[in-house]
């Protein structure tokens, strides 16, 4: 507010009340109360610029009685109205007057019209200036519709058709999953009803019946590298704990955490560790393969040895030489077949046949006594 030159300043009123905001019009009309105060040399209406309507001053300190209330008082004592019945005493709308409500609505309408006039006056003022006419037309249209710019730019209400409509270029995922097999039959790997991909080669279903795609490419390599880092870190922790227990190191001398097995801290080192682990795995598999070849032989060596084997003795020749001392070739058995390096035809526990000569209900046994237990004695009665 503008200060009078000879006006006494009240020090008990805060500055944010007495000072006028910078955005308020300097030529704003003063209220009747302010004009009277200026004429008298005093202006005590410090709240005029805080009201929406500066000219409207409502004094809420005085109690008001509705026009519908008709009470008779003698001094400070209320006088009972004769003729009050039960319903009149308990009337919920006692004291209500529709005229007061209509007057309030009328005030609101006048205030709204005043705001519209102020906006139009500002638009006309800008229209006469150098500003763009498109903006003024746009503002006039908003005023006619009773809207403001903030109502236009604030996306409060969403379009209900926005989620129902779909772009024409949008292709459903199950179309991408249509493939053809060898029999030229269309196979759907995606079930639209359950929304679960049925192809197990692309993923798996977790405990919550959700399809999880398997990682491929660099993502798969990164996952394997992270698993290797975790395994090496766990092994290193176990070793360090064992050393601490043996040496009984004090709390002050506990070694710091080693970050050499952390993928985030040293990714290059972990890639080198993974390469070394892969080479070690290949070396172990090669040693295992060589050990098996030395023990059982290979298919090529077996086929080579089979060419050197003499043909088996025929049954007639075997019967003719049955009474002879023995067969000259030590690599052949009594049936004329090549001997195995493992023990065969071993008979024991008073059995006359080998174990495996009898089969019943998915189990092997001895045909002499029809027993299925391998370590059982023969129960067949001897003559």
**pLDDT tens-place string over residues 251-283:** 556 666 678 888 888 889 999 999 999 999 999
10 Å CB burial of residue 43 (0-12, 13-18, 19+) is: buried
Rounded distance, CA 37 to CA 375, Å? 126
Cβ neighbour number for residue 304 with a 10 Å cutoff: 11
- Answer yes or no: is 160 within a domain: no
pLDDT digits (tens, 9 = 90+) for 175-217: 665 655 555 555 656 666 666 666 677 777 788 877 788 888 8
Residue 323 has pLDDT above 60, yes or no: no
Residue 289's pLDDT band (cuts 50, 70, 90)? very high
Q: What is the pLDDT of residues 237-255, one digit of tens each?
A: 888 888 878 776 555 566 6
Residue 27 domain flag: yes
Q: Are 210 and 229 members of one domain?
A: no
pLDDT band at 57 (very low <50, low <70, confident <90, very high): confident
Find, among 57, 151, 34, 52, the residue nearest to 111 by Cα: 52
Residue 261 located in a structural domain:
yes
Domain that holds residue 204: 173-214
DSSP code for 252: G
The reply to whether 4 and 52 lie within a common domain is: yes
186, part of any domain: yes
Distance CA 213, CA 203 (A): 4
Q: Is residue 269 part of a domain?
A: yes
370: left (phi over 0), alpha (psi -120 to 50) or beta: left
**pLDDT per position as a tens digit, 136-156:** 677 777 777 766 666 665 555
CA separation for the pair 200, 192 (Å, rounded) = 16
Query: Do residues 201 and 244 share a domain?
Result: no
The tally of domains found in the chain comes to 4
Q: What percent of the chain has pLDDT over 70?
A: 58
State the average pLDDT for the chain.
73
Per the CB < 8 A criterion, the answer to whether 59 and 47 are in contact is: no
Contact 245, 239 (CB under 8 A): no
Q: Comparing 364 with 53, which gets the higher pLDDT?
A: 364
DSSP code string of 308-373: HSPPPPPHHHHHHTTTSS--S-TTB-TTSSBPPSS--S---TT-SS-TTSEEETTEEE-TTT----
Q: What is the CA radius of gyration of the chain?
A: 53
235, part of any domain:
yes
pLDDT digits (tens, 9 = 90+) for 79-133: 766 556 788 778 888 777 888 889 989 999 998 898 888 888 887 776 665 555 5
pLDDT recorded at residue 252: 57
Instruction: Give residue 229's Cα distance to chain centre.
Output: 26
SS3 call for 226? helix
Q: Which of 86, 81, 33 is nearest to 56 (CA)?
A: 33
pLDDT of res. 186: 57
Q: Same domain, yes or no, for 199 and 229? A: no
H helices of 128-217, in order, are 133-145, 149-153, 173-176
Alpha helices, H only, the chain: 15-18, 32-40, 86-89, 98-127, 133-145, 149-153, 173-176, 218-247, 267-296, 299-308, 315-320
Under a CB-based contact definition with an 8 Å cutoff, are residues 96 and 66 in contact? yes
Nearest to 7 by CA among 36, 44, 51: 44
- Residues 194, 243, single domain; the answer is no
Query: How far is the CA of 348 from the CAs of 76, 352, 356, in angstroms?
Result: 130, 8, 13
CA separation for the pair 48, 151 (Å, rounded): 29
User: Are residues 354 and 379 located together in one domain of the fold?
Assistant: yes
pLDDT at 284: 95
Q: What is residue 325's predicted lDDT score, i.e. its pLDDT?
A: 44
Query: Global pTM?
Result: 0.31
- Note whether residue 128 is domain-resident: no
Q: Which of 36, 56, 76 is the last residue of a domain?
A: 56
Q: Please indicate, yes or no, whether residues 190 and 239 belong to a single structural domain of this protein.
A: no
Q: What is the pLDDT of residue 315?
A: 45
The answer to whether the beta carbons of residues 297 and 268 sit under 8 Å apart is no
Judge whether 234 lies within some domain: yes
Q: Are residues 204 and 244 in the same domain?
A: no
Same domain (yes/no): 51, 4: yes
Q: Is 180 helix (H, G, I), strand (E, B) or coil?
A: strand
Residue 313: the pLDDT is: 47
């Amino acid at each position: 507010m503008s200060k009078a030159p000879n006006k006494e300043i009240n020090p008990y009123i805060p500055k944010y009340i007495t000072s006028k905001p910078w955005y308020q019009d300097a030529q704003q009309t003063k209220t009747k109360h302010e004009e009277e105060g200026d004429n008298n040399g005093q202006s005590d209406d410090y709240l005029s610029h805080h009201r929406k309507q500066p000219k409207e001053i409502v004094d809420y300190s005085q109690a008001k009685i509705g026009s519908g209330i008709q009470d008779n008082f003698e001094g400070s004592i209320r006088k009972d109205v004769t003729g009050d019945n039960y319903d009149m005493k308990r009337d919920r709308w006692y004291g209500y007057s529709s005229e007061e409500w209509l007057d309030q609505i009328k005030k609101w309408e006048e205030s709204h019209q005043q705001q519209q006039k102020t906006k139009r006056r500002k638009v006309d003022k800008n229209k006469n200036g150098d500003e763009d006419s498109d903006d003024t037309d746009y503002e006039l249209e908003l005023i006619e519709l009773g809207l403001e710019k903030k109502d236009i730019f604030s996306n409060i209400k969403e379009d209900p058709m926005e989620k129902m409509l779909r772009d024409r270029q949008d292709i459903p995922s199950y179309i991408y999953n249509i493939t053809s097999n060898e029999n030229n039959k269309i196979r759907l790997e995606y079930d639209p009803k359950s929304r679960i991909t049925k192809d197990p080669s692309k993923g798996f279903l977790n405990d919550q019946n959700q399809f999880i795609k398997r990682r491929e490419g660099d993502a798969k390599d990164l996952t394997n590298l992270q698993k290797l880092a975790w395994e090496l870190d766990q092994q290193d922790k176990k070793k360090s704990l064992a050393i601490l227990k043996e040496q009984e190191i004090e709390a002050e001398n506990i070694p710091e955490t080693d970050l050499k097995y952390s993928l985030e801290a040293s990714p290059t080192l972990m890639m080198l560790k993974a390469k070394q682990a892969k080479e070690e795995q290949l070396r172990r598999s090669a040693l295992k393969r060589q050990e098996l070849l030395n023990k059982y032989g290979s298919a090529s060596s077996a086929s080579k040895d089979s060419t050197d084997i003499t043909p088996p003795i025929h049954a007639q020749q075997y019967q003719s030489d049955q009474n002879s001392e023995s067969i000259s070739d030590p690599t052949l058995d009594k049936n004329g077949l090549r001997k195995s390096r493992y023990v065969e035809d071993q008979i024991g526990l008073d059995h006359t046949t080998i174990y495996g000569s009898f089969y019943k209900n998915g189990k092997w046994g001895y045909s002499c006594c029809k027993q299925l237990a391998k370590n059982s004695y023969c129960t067949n009665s001897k003559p």
